[in-house]
Amino acid sequence: MSDAVIAITGGTGFVGHHLVKRLVAEGHRLRLLVRSKSVARELSGEPGIETVLGDLDDLHALRVLTGGASTIIHLASKLTAKDREEFDAVNVDGTRNVAAAARAAKVGQFIFISSLAAREAHLSGYAASKNQAERELIELTKYDGSMPWVIMRPPAVYGPGDKATLPLLQALTHKYALLPGRAEARFSLIYVEDLVDAITALIGDEETRGQTIELDDGTEGGYDWPSLAKIAGEVGGQQVRPVFVPRTVLSAAAGALEFGAKMVDKTPPLRAARFRSFITQTGCAGTRSCRRPAPGPRRPGFRKASRRPSTGTALKAGSEAIRKTVGITREWMLPTKACSMRLWRCCNLSTPTISSSSRRRISLRI
């Protein structure tokens, strides 16, 4: 087991638990920031894992988390909130607190998992908060370069155990799929294990220091709803017909839910801003991933692709992962209600197995 400590925030979330399992399997020593005492007790017996009880506003806990760590991976974020201030409290202030603690502890590398939404800050409070968090991190270190950092912007992430994309995957299991936006809207996706591949490849990589990396799975032209519906139909043995909900209907429904949630001081389950990335054509990584890539050699692998813009590579494994994820969704229609979202066991949802020969190339835009 390595002596170096990797500190992680958000390690018990969707992406986090996949990342933690991978890093433990590779023999890394981990230190996780956790908010729940019960989760901390559960993880305390896991080999290679140390826990720190606290939150992103707990400065003492953050000092303990970062002390002596060689790398910190900042995954924790707020995905839904009542208003911009609630987003900022976690995504902006929390990132600033973690970065300041890491800088004071002289952590060797700060890996910030942001979001592709950050480049379109006007779309939503979440996008604006992620954009601001990136600028806060850069501002903190721009004068003395005291803490090497790298920012990764993944698009929508899917895979077993995900709650954010679950409603959309469930929609694709029905004969008539109610979907947001327009048929021609295109967007990038990344399978969770591919995102974990990219994150682990960043650890200790000096050549990506000070870079902002936009990530996708290399599928030529990105994805659209009809193509996903076709894949889902092949999995279920039936034709899935997309039914697109008009923007006016989405806005009206979101407005009503937001108003009701505000009256009872709750976070609305649906916000109009959350679907703007599907209504507009801004959900693709890079400048070419929503269009046909320019001719050029295929450049597989994270480290090579991180040196220069990738042309993208459309491989069968992209649709293979979607097929298997949709298949799992059909079998466990609501896994988050049927079981605990604890780190090591979530309804025994197995990760789709993709052979190494057909793994998707990870395509990066810098």
Q: Which helix (H) or strand (E) holds 59?
A: helix 59-66
Q: Which residue has the higher pLDDT, 308 or 207?
A: 207
DSSP SS3 for 54: coil
Provide the whole-model pTM. Answer: 0.76
Averaged pLDDT of the chain = 75
- Residue 276 in this model has a pLDDT that exceeds 60: no
Thinking of the domain 1-153, which architecture would CATH place it in?
3-Layer(aba) Sandwich (3.40)
Domain boundaries, the chain: 1-153, 156-189+219-298+319-359
Number of H helices, E strands in the chain: 14, 12
Mean pLDDT over 282-303 rounds to: 39
Taking the CB of residue 341, how many other CB atoms lie within 10 A of it?
16
208-266, pLDDT tens digit by residue?
999 999 988 877 778 888 888 888 787 778 888 888 877 676 666 666 665 565 666 66
- pLDDT at position 68 over 50: yes
Residue 355 is predicted with a pLDDT of 33
> What pLDDT is recorded for position 255?
62
Q: How many CB atoms lie within 10 A of CB 316?
A: 10
Taking the C-alpha atoms of residue 150 and residue 131, their distance in angstroms, rounded to an integer, is: 14
SS3 187: strand
Whole-Å CA distances, 264 to 162, 271, 274, 283: 27, 16, 21, 32
pLDDT band at 270; cut points 50, 70, 90: low
Bigger pLDDT: 233 vs 287? 233
3-state SS, residue 112:
strand
Hey, what are 327's tokens? 């298949």
Is the pLDDT higher at 365 or at 231? 231
Ranking 158-172, 185-199, 210-224 by mean pLDDT, the lowest is 158-172
What pLDDT shows up at residue 236?
A: 74
